[in-house]
Amino acid sequence: MNQTTLIERLLSLTHAIEDAVALANWPEAARLTEERSPLLVSLSAEQDPAALEMIRMIQAIDAAVLANAQTTQIELQAEYRSAMARVDAAGQYQQVAQF
């Protein structure tokens, strides 16, 4: 695969990752990232200006996806803690109600 085709494929996969993240389909985003990783490694250092622009787009999308993932992780952790607090409260209620 030549470098132009490779970069176009990388950009396509990156957009697919972005779409999966927008749908909160984290397993699909992870799968696509695993598929993309070996292609990233095969990029050569020398690129023409058009290829460099596509690489910058990939980097920008990756940064946005990472920020989204971090925000989502924080939100999910908060939801988990809240759910666990409700479970504890329900357990305490059951203990008191049995007396």
Which residue in 11, 96, 9 sits closest to 59, CA to CA? 11
Task: Please tell me the distance from the alpha carbon of residue 14 to that of residue 75, in angstroms, as a whole number.
Answer: 24
Task: Please tell me the distance from the alpha carbon of residue 5 to that of residue 15, in angstroms, as a whole number.
Answer: 15
Q: Can you give the pLDDT of all 99 residues of the chain as single tens digits?
A: 789 999 999 999 999 999 999 999 999 999 999 999 999 999 998 899 999 999 999 999 999 999 999 999 999 999 999 999 999 999 999 988 887
Angle, CA of 76, 27 and 71, to the nearest 5°: 30
Alpha helices in the chain (DSSP H): 3-22, 26-41, 49-97
What is the total count of domains within the chain? 1
Q: Which residue range forms the structural domain that includes residue 25?
A: 3-97
pLDDT score for 45: 87
